[in-house]
Amino acid sequence: MPVVRQDRGGPATRAAWLIWTTAVLVYFAAVFHRTTLGVAGLEASERFGLGPAQLGVFTVLQVGVYALMQIPTGLLVDRYGPRKVLTAAALLMGTGQLLFAIAESYPLGLAARAVLGMGDAMTFISVIRLVATHFPPKQYSLVVAVTAALGGVGNLVATVPLTLMLGSIGWTWAFLIASGATALYSVIAFLKVRDVPHGGTAPKPDVVPFKKIWPKVRQAWSVPGTRLGFWAHFSTMSTPAVLGLLWGYPYLVQAQGMSPKAASSTLGVLVIGAIVASPVIGALFSRNPEWRMPIAVWFLAFAFTGWGVLLLWPGGHVPSVVIGIVFVVLTIGGPISGVAFALARDYNPSHRQSTASGLVNVGGFLAVTVAALGVGVLLDLFENVLTPQSAFRVAFSFLVAVLAFGAWRMLVWWRRARAAVFAAEERGETVPVQLRRRRWDALRVA
């Protein structure tokens, strides 16, 4: 599994940090817009007259569009560069929130979330392409982790502050302000972001004819490291995202009896935990890349334990302290999911990195789409039959089943990716991470 990449040897320049700062603010806006429905879900139900399943379609559509756009986004970044793609992303997100601000019908609301999902989909891949271009490889995992942490600040702004704005100035003005700020920022992104470092030569645009797009995607997907990244992202980021994007707030208010303010503050634990953990985990991955997958496996073990506590707590009414502790455990999955993009970068040549990154990003958001829809359908089926606590127990059991499936596939591809690394070493090829053989490496891979 040879690696071909354009590595910069020296430390990142001041200009590189300024470009990254400009770009990461677009990602900050993307996460804010993505998570607004997490605290506006109950208001959306009243505004559009929706049940749980219909409300879930908002998130399913938005995240589904995001997932479907990942491969096209990778191809667009490879062809046009991250600067133009980020500019288009900011304009699309501003347009989507404008439509959502004025929407009074369910179809227009759905159209608004679809446009928003398209813009959101184009941000993260663009930012990490800039990181790969402007920063040395030893800083890659750390800068990506800090990027995710600052995106988490956007999530935080979408909890308590947005809740207060909705209560004071109302739905329309709250979303209009968010829309206008994002659209105007697209001008700054276009003027300040640069695709390559100063004095560098921009790579020749990767113009892929339509008939050759699928072979390029298939090449990236055939790499075991890409496949491992897909399932690692599927497993580690999906459950905290489902809670933060949509179902955490209704669960806390309807099943656990929290006030709206207390619920939004508790959701803030998911965000603050990610903000604090991201730089720590990113630095750990940068210094010890061989620890990446073992840490992901240990996280999944703790995540299953946390879900067991929430779903099996006697009576269904879980103490707030316990919920906070479980949420802190689950939120670490967001920073750990950054391993997926490091894998895509490590095991793919530079001209295919954006495509590979798009593929691994599909994993997490595919899991979010399936889980969010499944939870909504089950809540619709059981909300009038069971108590709120029991209905959420049944619905969240589906989420745990999605997590278990992803964990199984991740373990399978971890074994296969390790086997590919050992085979490359035996052929005398350079590998990005030195691994030690374990006894279980000799077992047959499922």
- Convert the pLDDT of each residue in 1-35 to its tens digit: 444 344 445 566 888 899 999 999 999 888 888 87
C-alpha span between 417 and 1 (Å, rounded)? 9
Confidence of residue 203 (pLDDT cuts 50, 70, 90): low
Provide the percentage of residues in the chain whose pLDDT is more than 70: 91
Please give the structure tokens belonging to residue 363: 């994993």
The CA distance from 52 to 375, in Å, is 9
* Amino acid identity, position 107: P
pLDDT for res 5: 42
| Beta carbons of 8 and 136 less than 8 angstroms apart | yes
Cβ contact 339:285 at 8 Å: yes
C-alpha angle 86-90-94 in degrees, rounded to nearest 5: 170
Q: Where are the domains of the chain?
A: 15-197+212-442
Query: Cβ of 301: how many Cβ atoms within 10 Å?
Result: 9
Classify domain 15-197+212-442 at the CATH class level.
mainly alpha
**pLDDT per residue over 324-333, tens digit each?**
899 889 988 8
Average pLDDT, the chain: 83
> What pLDDT shows up at residue 230?
95
- Please give the pLDDT value at position 99: 93
Residue 385 phi/psi, 5° resolution?
-110, -35
pLDDT band, very low/low/confident/very high, at 443 (cuts 50, 70, 90): low
Is the pLDDT assigned to residue 212 strictly greater than 80? no
| Mean pLDDT value across residues 150-154 | 76
Task: Give residue-wise pLDDT tens across range 180-194.
Answer: 999 999 999 999 998
Confidence of residue 401 (pLDDT cuts 50, 70, 90): very high
Nearest to 250 by CA among 20, 41, 7: 41
DSSP 325-376: HHHHHHHTHHHHTTHHHHHHHHTS-GGGHHHHHHHHHHHHHHHHHHHHHHHH
Mean pLDDT of 163-183: 86
If you count them, how many residues does the chain have? 446
Element (DSSP H or E) covering residue 435: none
Three-state DSSP class for 378? helix
Q: What is the pLDDT of residue 87?
A: 95
Distance between start and end Cα atoms, the chain: 20
Query: % helix / strand / coil in the chain, to the nearest 5?
Result: 80, 0, 20
Give the whole-angstrom CA distance, residue 39 versus residue 245.
8
Q: Indicate the pLDDT class of residue 208, thresholds 50, 70 and 90.
A: low
pLDDT at 287: 81
Which of 52, 45, 14 has the alpha carbon at shortest distance from 383? 52
Helix (H, G, I), strand (E, B) or coil at 59: helix
For 418, the 3-state DSSP assignment is helix
Handedness of CA 251, 40, 260, 53 (dihedral sign): negative
Question: Is the confidence at residue 289, as pLDDT, over 90?
Answer: no
Which residue would you say has higher pLDDT here, 213 or 191? Answer: 191
DSSP 442: G
pLDDT > 90: percent of the chain: 25
What average pLDDT does range 133-157 have in this prediction? 78
Q: What is the pLDDT of residue 388?
A: 86
Q: Which of 112, 33, 119, 114 is nearest to 76 (CA)?
A: 119
**Strands, E assignment, 360-446:** none
pLDDT-wise least confident of 155-164, 328-337, 393-402:
155-164
Residue 211 confidence (pLDDT) above 80:
no
Pinpoint the alpha helices (H) of 237-336: 238-242, 248-250, 260-287, 292-312, 320-331, 333-336
